[in-house]
Structure 1
Amino acid sequence: MDRRPVYYAVRMSIAAVVYAGCWALFAWLGDSWLQLLVAAALAVVFGQFGFIAHDLGHRQVFRTRRPSDIAGLIVGNLCIGLGWGWWNTKHNRHHANPNHEDHDPDVSPAVIVWSRDQVARSSGLPRFIAKYQAFWFFPLLTLEAWHLHVASFRALMNPAAKRRKLELALLIVHFVIYVGAVFAVLSPGKAVLFLLVHQGVFGLYLGSTFAPNHKGMPMLTKEDKLDFLRKQVLTSRNVRGGLFIDIALGQLNYQIEHHLFPNMPAPNLRKAQPIVERYCAEIGVPYLQTGLFASYGQALGHLHEVGAVLRRPPAQGAAVG
């Protein structure tokens, strides 16, 4: 549980240098179609900044709130345009009740539906999507970054929002500089394509790193009465794969350990993993660990199964759902 200041200093310094390097390359290339490659690379860097913001939110980097909030506002609001306060509140609700139909905002049926009960209650766009939502899932992730940006601004429209003026000002500064730079360097057509590629890959990357953690795992309802350990372990999935997967997924591939010890520094999660796995085996709690593609298969299989009722022709004279 000890903090890892040197690790985070190095990690954040590397991320900052690569972030600045991408924008320097963007300025150097000028009005070129090669900028679409820069957009994709910058999307990955934005995703890595998102992981750093995540760790700051859990106080994995600093023990106290103030430095965590200051760094989080810079990394989240100013650097990548995501509302720090709104996202922290949302993410803490997820940690308190992972995969709970009524309490986890990450499985609310906004577009994708995650259980048969949600399918039965769905209407409009979610019901239309649900029929073949396994095929829609990854294409929809290209819109995830836009959704997060809009949700960040929407949350700050509430006068009761904490640090409302500061967070709103930082978001506005980010988008003025970001959009202004893109249109100042690129022709209008290339600028629009740059934004679409950058935000699309950013959303796809974020969604693809979070999907293996819980999607396709058991969904909980008010009837489920589980203790803390079982609530966290049974709804989470680890992803194995070595150093590359650790970096690509921001070490959130140790999702079970992260949910049990949310303020444990990210590089320590892999050390806790065998201890937690052994303990779960001792007390008879299922502990799931798969490869990356197997995790996607389980998530998509679950989504396809959930929508199966909408693909079956209704019985004669009866309505579906």
Structure 2
Amino acid sequence: MTTTVDQASPAARPSGVALYRALAQEVRERGLMRRRPGWYAGHTAACAAALAALAVAVVLLGNTWAVLALAPVVAVVVSQLAFLGHDAAHQQVFTRPVANEVAARALAAGCAGLSYGWWLGKHGVHHTAPNQRGRDTDIESKALAFYPEAMSAKGRLQRRILRRQGLLFFPLLLLEGFNLHVDSARALLSRAHRPRRVVDATLVLTRWAAYLLLLSSALTPGKAAAFVAVDLTCFGVLLGGAFAPNHTGMPVLQPGARMDFLHRQVTASRNVSGGWWVDLVMGGLNHQVEHHLFPSMPRPTLRQVRPLVRDFCRRHDVPYTETTFAGAFRAVVRHLDTVGLAGRRDRSCPLAARLRS
């Protein structure tokens, strides 16, 4: 069940800027922004060892359909490397920005096969303006509608299909891995300026060449293609499943809307409660409120700062939303269905649509 902390505000309330400064100062004084390079080194080494073991297992199993059982495991390991690249891109690992960029590029492009420059550009805007129309591209989709106005831009047939778009969410996650790689490749081939695009392209091509060479040396082309398909399908489910629950169904800001940093980040984000396994599966992104408030905070520290942020928001009447793992996905499906049905109602009565807006 989703719980939102929302108490009565005092007569005289400090500004959002002053509140965030007070919270940030307390976080710094507790040493919660201290880097944890040892933790990241251990996790990266474990992932590298797992990939090496999987490569050996593929060769030993040889040309048999049983080898496909290893593809989901590959996806799990690669998704963990992608999460580590996300953390490095946010300057969470090292104190020097250059070291973080090198690590993030190696993990994103060299290990996950996704352009670091492409991802950094879109993700940076997302953190600046989460859930804001016209800025956050994460709420813009050709396949789904994340807010009622997006429904009106769809074709008539698509609007009919999207009336129950919550049912499409999980099947579409199966395609997210392919979609990410296609968008990454398209960005690398575009003429838009991206620093070190050649480096990104070289790392991505080298990664895919090594991957396909390994598979082709042990499997027939058909089995190799099936292995890649299973891998990308599971990869998309893992990454899409880690990102979607954090903001889908939270308030969407209109273009040009203004809000202070604290309220913008907390109001647009949803935390997902659970134990260590939720941290692992979601790459620490289940602490989404804290991550948006302190993007450079190391992942293992997010769980520690969570009670502090939650209590701070309760005291100062800042809506703080938290739900369970299953509850988060229920909220996503419920929101998508509500948007789909709202689009149908809006077309049936223009006056009601204006009143609702």
CA-to-partner distance for each residue in 1:188-217, whole Å, 9 max, x for gaps? 222221111110010011111111211111
How far apart, CA to CA, are the structure 2 residues paired with 1:150 and 1:125? 25
Give SS of 1:307's match. Answer: helix
Which of residues 231, 238, 243 is equivalent to 1:198? 231
Q: Which of 260, 268, 273 is the equivalent residue of 1:240? A: 273
Residue pair 1:72, 1:84 contacting (<8 A) in 2 also: yes
Deviation of 1:122 after TM superposition, in Å, equals 2.1
Question: Can you list the C-alpha shifts for 1:26-48, whole angstroms capped at 9, x where unaligned?
Answer: 12111122211100111111110
Structure-2 separation of matches of 1:181 and 1:263 = 36
1:269 maps to what in 2? 302
d(CA) in 1 for partners of 2:266, 2:346: 37
Q: CA deviation digits over 1:225-263, x for unaligned, max 9?
A: 321111100111111111111111111111000000000
SS at match of 2:65: coil
Distance 2:347 2:277 in 1: 47
1:221 correspondence with 2:254: yes
1:38 to 36, 61, 70: 70
Bigger radius of gyration, 1 or 2?
2
Residue 292 of structure 1: how far off its partner (Å): 0.2
The answer to whether the 8 A contact 1:109-1:126 is kept is no
- Residue identity opposite 1:144 in structure 2: E
Counterpart Cα distance in 2 of 1:126 and 1:108: 15
Query: What is residue 287 of structure 1 aligned with on the other side?
Result: 320
Unaligned stretches of 5+ residues in structure 1: none
Amino-acid identity (%): 38
Task: List aligned pairs for 1:68-107, cutoff 5 A.
Answer: 68-107=100-139
> How far is 1:129 from its partner?
4.7
The residue that corresponds to 1:130 in the other structure is 162
Pairs aligned (count)? 318
1:152 equivalent among 158, 177, 184:
184
Aligned partner of 2:212 among 179, 185, 188: 179
Counterpart of 2:240, as a letter, is: G
Q: Which runs of 5+ in 2 are unaligned?
A: 1-32
- Structure 2 partner of 1:51: 83
- Mean CA deviation greater in 29-38 or 274-283: 29-38
Query: 1:55 & 1:162 partners in 2: Cα distance?
Result: 20
Q: Which amino acid aligns with 1:157?
A: L
Q: What amino acid is aligned across from residue 304 of structure 1 in structure 2?
A: D
- Aligned-partner residue type, residue 34 of structure 2: D
Instruction: Decide which moves more: 100-109 or 48-57.
Output: 100-109
Instruction: Select which of 285, 288, 291 maps to 1:258.
Output: 291
User: RMSD between aligned alpha carbons?
Assistant: 2.0
- Paired AA for residue 71 in structure 2: A
Is residue 2:32 matched to residue 1:4? Answer: no
Matched-pair contact (CA < 8 Å) for 2:82–2:111: no
Native 8 Å contact 1:112 1:126 kept in 2:
no
Q: Partners of 1:189 and 1:169 in 2: how far apart?
A: 26
Q: Do 2:55 and 2:214's aligned partners in 1 also have CA atoms closer than 8 Å?
A: no
Tell me, yes or no, if the aligned pair for 2:238 and 2:281 is still in contact at 8 Å.
no
Q: Does 1:141 align with 2:191?
A: no
CA distance in 2, matches of 1:305, 1:9: 44
CA shift at 1:65, angstroms?
Answer: 2.2
Structure 2 distance, partners of 1:169, 1:123, is 39
- Where does residue 140 of structure 2 map in the other structure? 108
Does 100-109 or 120-129 show the bigger shift? 120-129
Shift of 1:312: 6.1
State how far apart, in whole Å, the 2-side matches of 1:158 and 1:125 are. Answer: 31
8 Å contact from structure 1 (residues 217, 234) kept in 2: yes
The letter for the 1-side match of 2:323 is: T
TM norm structure 1: 0.93
Structure with the bigger RCO (C-alpha within 8 Å, sep 6+) is: 2
State the Cα deviation string for residues 155-174 of structure 1 (Å, max 9, x = none). Answer: 12234221121111111111
SS of residue in 1 equivalent to 2:320: coil
